[in-house]
């Protein structure tokens, strides 16, 4: 389940802001050291976590500007703990229209945070001087950084340059959408309830929502998922609208009975496995490489009232887990840069390095080639990634077709660009979808 964003309430009893800023700076340091945002936030004191999470998301969405401003204010990089605290505060102050607190409050509390941390106490005066200068000279300092793409778009320079080269007509809209907050999107389990019944239950609970056929619901305000009506009964799953395209794309037009076999490779946490089971009577096998993630598949399927064969193994090494019986359909949601889901995981853009794309593309190639022989003639494999980079999408499929003369490409969505409201490439029943960035390539096996 993706991290949920909770707005800062400012309610009585909320932990002191300086403590939250300290923790947010620690999260940023952990991310800079290579830890995922989810893992870094999990390490935060539970009392602080909701506020820190909101701060951290805002920081990652404004980090490019913040780093540029810090470089102007302090040409020589300060110690890591001081730099993190400065960047956190500058990120939160730089976008005045959306700042979670008054900028003077943020600066005062940042200085207090510096004083109360042994790693930064000796630099508290320096932190104060930098931030006070920013408040005095905001307009000129921001102007000095306006020509830097990383500051303007709040993505790494290599990321921006790659999108400019690959998507010269839409790179700006991709970056803009990638820096917005994603909606809480649900997929209704039509084996347990109906779209209309679930919408009515939400309305009766006072939760405003927009329903989109065939089974997609957008909540206007994010809430704790377990508080939603029907959670324990398995009425819905949290799943982005683009990810909801996977199961229907793979199965549409295939007449699969109870004896048919479907493989969901790289299955954790089980969202797509559940969707497959919701729309087919076929036998579904869920395969996951990491043993620690397998319990989440079982838990999600149990809540939804669904059953699958769940295996632990490497999809690229079928000899270790495959029983020798061919599959009628294979869903490969391959490991990727996750560049299409930075709306939900804004830390990803700062974690990734450009070299990761080529390394992941090699892994994707290995998985596709290993799974293709497991598919019967006439069967289908759906290759998908939550990426906006061509090497992980259309280029990967084109190279696969060149290697496999028995493969044919079927019509599919192709590249889906991240959306922030408005018109979308995903149109069912003439309804506009708001979704992450994905790629879908559908391949059919023909006689060699």
Q: Which residues are catalytic?
A: 386
Report the residue count for the chain: 448
Strand, coil or helix: 181: coil
Distances (CA, A) of 15 to 5, 18, 47, 82, 172: 17, 8, 8, 22, 38
Radius of gyration of the chain (CA): 23
DSSP line for 1-27: -PPPP------TTPPPHHHHHHHHHHH
Going through 129-207 in order, the beta strands assigned E by DSSP cover 184-188
CA count, 13 A, side-chain hemisphere, 336 = 25
Q: Which two tokens stand for residue 366?
A: 């290995």
Q: Is 395 helix (H, G, I), strand (E, B) or coil?
A: helix
For residues 390 and 358, give the distance between their C-alpha atoms in angstroms, rounded to a whole number: 11
Three-state secondary structure call for residue 407? strand
Q: Are 275 and 247 in contact (CB under 8 A)?
A: yes
186, 219 in Cβ contact below 8 A? yes
Left (φ > 0), alpha (ψ -120 to 50) or beta: where does 420 sit? Answer: beta
25 neighbors 52 (Cβ within 8 angstroms): no
């Amino acid at each position: 389940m993706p991290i949920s964003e909770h707005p800062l309430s400012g309610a009585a009893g909320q932990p002191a802001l300086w403590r939250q800023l300290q923790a947010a700076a620690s999260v940023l340091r952990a991310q800079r050291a290579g830890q995922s945002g989810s893992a870094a936030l999990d390490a935060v004191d539970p009392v602080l976590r909701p506020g820190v999470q909101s701060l951290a998301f805002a920081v990652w969405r404004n980090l490019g500007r913040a780093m540029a401003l810090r470089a102007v204010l302090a040409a020589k990089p300060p110690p890591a703990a001081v730099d993190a605290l400065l960047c956190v505060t500058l990120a939160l102050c730089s976008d005045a229209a959306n700042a979670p607190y008054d900028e003077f409050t943020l600066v005062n509390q940042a200085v207090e945070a510096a004083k109360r941390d042994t790693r930064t106490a000796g630099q508290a005066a320096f932190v104060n001087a930098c931030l006070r200068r920013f408040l005095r000279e905001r307009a000129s300092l921001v102007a000095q950084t306006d020509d830097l793409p990383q500051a303007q778009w709040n993505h790494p320079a290599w990321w921006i340059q790659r999108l400019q080269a690959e998507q010269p007509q839409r790179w700006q809209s991709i970056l803009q959408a990638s820096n917005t907050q994603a909606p809480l999107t649900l997929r209704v389990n039509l084996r347990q309830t109906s779209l209309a019944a679930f919408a009515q239950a939400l309305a009766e609970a006072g939760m405003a929502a927009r329903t989109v056929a065939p089974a997609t619901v957008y909540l206007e305000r994010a809430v704790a998922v377990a508080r939603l009506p029907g959670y324990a009964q398995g009425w819905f799953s949290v799943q982005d609208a683009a990810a909801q395209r996977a199961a229907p794309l793979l199965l549409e037009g295939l007449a699969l009975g109870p004896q048919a076999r479907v493989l969901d490779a790289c299955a954790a946490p089980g969202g797509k496995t559940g969707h497959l089971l919701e729309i087919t009577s076929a036998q579904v096998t869920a395969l996951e490489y990491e043993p620690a993630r397998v319990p989440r598949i079982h838990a999600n399927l149990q809540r939804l009232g669904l059953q699958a064969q769940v295996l632990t193994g490497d999809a690229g090494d079928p000899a270790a887990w495959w029983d020798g019986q061919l599959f009628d359909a294979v869903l490969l949601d391959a490991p990727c840069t996750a560049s299409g889901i930075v709306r939900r995981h804004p830390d990803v853009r700062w974690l990734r390095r450009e070299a990761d794309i080529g390394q992941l593309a090699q892994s994707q190639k290995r998985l596709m080639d290993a799974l293709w022989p497991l598919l019967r003639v006439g069967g289908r494999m759906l290759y998908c990634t939550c990426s906006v980079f061509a090497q992980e999408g259309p280029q990967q499929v084109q190279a696969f077709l060149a290697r496999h003369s028995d493969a044919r490409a079927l019509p599919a969505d192709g590249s889906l660009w991240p959306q922030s409201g408005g018109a979308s490439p995903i149109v069912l029943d003439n309804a506009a979808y708001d979704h992450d960035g994905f790629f879908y390539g559908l391949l059919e096996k023909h006689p060699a």
